[in-house]
Structure 1
Amino acid sequence: MGTKIKISMTAISIIIGFMLAIQFQTVKKPKLRDTRDIWQLREDLLKEQDLQSKLIEEIRSNEDRFDKYETKMKDSKEQALKDTLKELKKDAGQTKVTGSGIVLKIAPFEEAVLLNKRVPEVSPILLNRLVNELNMYGAKQIAIDGERIINTTVIRDINGETKINGRSINSYPFEIKVIAENIKAANKLYNRIQVSPVIDELFVDNLKAIISKPKESIEIPAYDSSIIIQYMEPVK
């Protein structure tokens, strides 16, 4: 009986010790709490609402296109295919577009130039963030230094150089052209991008963004390289 009692006491001690260890770890590493203030939460909520609105708009646009395609198919299959192909090329960025928008000129600070401070190339991370912000604020088409931004565009660092679709962006100043839905949307885009945190982040690299007033007509060039399509093949 004495041996059994010792074994039982040992087992109970191990269990209690294990539970205490778990409790100690829980106290030592409390659950992370969301420390964002009310304004940060409201800003994040606004971004999510904008994204939701954009997705709903895109769904409706595709539904409208499908309905138009079915209607045109009844009249002329060949013309329906031509019109659809034209629209798809426009959406893919393979045609130049003109519309209302703004122009951002990225240039070094004059003070940095006068003081011979090093002005690095604009980082691909910063450019990607800027593109994301513009899209979030209503941009429909974007071109950076004459390079059209499309869904498959890659902005990255290659051997120390910032490249867009494989082309280097290594001289200042350069322009970012942005087209919105209409002049009203362009005004909204202009007001929101001016107070965007990403504009302030340019200051760290001795750069500034000169944002033009909304313009009625801005032309953005077509994407002039081949588009590689993956995970898709023609159906017989």
Structure 2
Amino acid sequence: MKNLIIGIITLLLIVLGGFYMKKYKNSEETTAQIQQVKWQLNDIDVNKTAHITFQLKDNKGNEIRGVNDHIRIFIVDKQLARSYQMRPTFAGNGSYKTTYQFKKEGEYTIFLYEETGDTTKQFAEKNIIVGKKEEKKQRPIAVDTVLTKNIGTYKTSLLFRALHPNEEETLTFQFQIEKGQKLKFRSNTGERAALRIVDEKQQHFLYVVPANDEGQLQFRVTFPSEGIYKIWGTFYINGKKYEEQFVLQVQERKNS
């Protein structure tokens, strides 16, 4: 009798497990299912803890499942001078929260994206004001005229052809090394380099991972519109982490 009861309980658990998997397998997707982003932002002031909360739901108002570990926040100011990268905490029922203390007042844009090891773009964005709104005229964002910089102890040149909107281009970071020397472009735990890219109007955010990091570091990027873009690069060289920034201009192709 005891074995019979155990067998019935086991069978019941299998049936319930199968029902659960069938019910939720289609909801455990990616951010492509998100139709609603509900923000909860209290008044945000300089040097005070800002509480940022948002809720992700599908077109039926259901919680988006299966993305908890992948959601990331990237915040930039209007001049693209300051940026903040955060990983929010899952709070249940499709909600996420984080806190931050902004050091400067002004206008900022919050981008939400999914970090899964693939190139992606934002699935939501939100403009916020920290402190009082700046009425000053925005200074033009200067494009880099020199694209050779030091990343770690290595002189590095950013190489590419002309950049046009909606045309894929390869950005190559060429490291000057001694003959026969090889560099490993990953951390000791396997993390890869990444580019976070925002346009001057704060309408587009791109998270780009390398198309090639064996022997050289290359990224394939499709800029969605013309304009000035700032790149925040995270690089790993022989296990060590480095950060560097570049500012590029994307122009419409001229009719010949």
Tell me the TM-score normalized by structure 1.
0.28
**Higher Cα radius of gyration:** 1
Which protein is richer in strand relative to its size? 2
Tell me the TM-score normalized by structure 2.
0.26
